Structure 1
Amino acid sequence: MKTYLFSLFTPNVAPPEDLDLGPVMAEIERVNDEIRAAGGWVFAGGLGDLDAATTVTVASNGSPLLTDGPYAEVREHLGGLSIVRSDDYDRVLRWAERIASATGFPVEVRPFVDEHHPGQPPTTE
C-alpha cells in the first residue's frame, strides 16, 4: 500500500464566534471511519494556533536559533493533517475531496517517498 499525506490549509484568521463546528467535525469523523474501515487509517490531527508555533533553525555558527511563530508569513497555514494508506489513488482523492467539502478549505494530497527505496520518488504502478 502507498502512504499519503493530507495537508489541510486554513486561513490565518480566527473562525467566526458563531460558527458551529459540530457538523464539520461529524463529517470529518465519518470520513475517518470510512478510512479505518478500508484499512487505510494511520493518523490524523489538528494543529494548534499559529501563536503556539516555534521555528527552529541553525545559525551560521552552528547554534540553534528559536523563533516564535511559523517559518513563513503566508495567508494560509497548515491547520491539520492526516496520513492514510491505499492502493487506490482515486479512493484517496475521494477521501480528500470529502474533507475539503466538509471544511471548505483546500486539502493537498502528497505521496510519501517509496519506503522501499528511500530518497526516490514513489512508483506510479
Structure 2
Amino acid sequence: MTQYFVAIHHPDDYDPSVAEDEAMSRDIDALNDEMKAAGVRVFVGGLRPASSAKSLRTQPNGQVLISDGPYLETTEHVGGFWVLEAGDLDEALTWGRKAAVACRAPVEVRPFN
C-alpha cells in the first residue's frame, strides 16, 4: 500500500472561528471516523496560520537564517492534512474528494516516495 499526503488549502486570511460552523465540524469528524473504520488513516493534523511559520534557509557561508513567515509567499497555505494508506491513486482521490466536500476547501493529493 502506498501512503498519500492529502492537504487542505486555505486562503491566508482564513479564520476557522468564522469559516468553520458546526455542520462542517460534524462533516470532518464523520470523515475522520470513516477513514479510521476503513483503516486508511495513518495521521491527521491541523496547522496554525501560515503567519505563525518560521522559515530556515542555508546561506552561502553555511549559516542558517531563520525568518518569520512561510517559506513561499502565496495567497493560500496548507491548513491541515491527512496521511493515508491507500491501494492506489484512485482510492486516494476518492478520499480526497470526500475531504474537499467535508472541508469546503481545495485539496491536494500526492503520493509519498
Provide the TM-score with structure 2 as the length reference.
0.89
Q: In 1, Cα distance between the equivalents of 2:51 and 2:34?
A: 33
Whichever structure has more helix as a proportion of its residues is 2
Q: Work out whether residues 6 and 96 of structure 2, in 8 Å CA contact, stay in contact via their aligned partners in 1.
A: yes
Q: In 1, Cα distance between the equivalents of 2:74 and 2:43?
A: 26
Shift of 1:51: 2.2
User: Which residue does 1:55 correspond to in 2?
Assistant: 55
User: Which residue does 2:5 correspond to in 1?
Assistant: 5
Shift of 1:90: 2.9
Aligned pairs for 1:58-97 within 5 A: 58-97=58-97
Q: In 2, Cα distance between the equivalents of 1:68 and 1:18?
A: 25
User: Which residue does 1:116 correspond to in 2?
Assistant: none
Q: Which has the higher contact order (CA 8 A, sep 6+)?
A: 2
Q: Describe the SS at the equivalent of 1:85.
A: strand
Structure 2: segments with no counterpart, 5+ residues: none
Change (3 A) 1:30 1:68: same
Q: In 2, Cα distance between the equivalents of 1:49 and 1:23?
A: 22
Bigger Rg over Cα:
1
Q: In 2, Cα distance between the equivalents of 1:69 and 1:15?
A: 17
Change (3 A) 1:14 1:41: closer
Q: Describe the SS at the equivalent of 2:100.
A: helix
Structure 2 counterpart of 1:3, one-letter code: Q
Q: Describe the SS at the equivalent of 1:101.
A: helix
Q: In 2, Cα distance between the equivalents of 1:105 and 1:20?
A: 11
Provide the TM-score with structure 1 as the length reference.
0.81
Shift of 1:2: 1.0
- Is 1:21 matched with 2:21? yes
Percent of aligned pairs with the same amino acid: 37
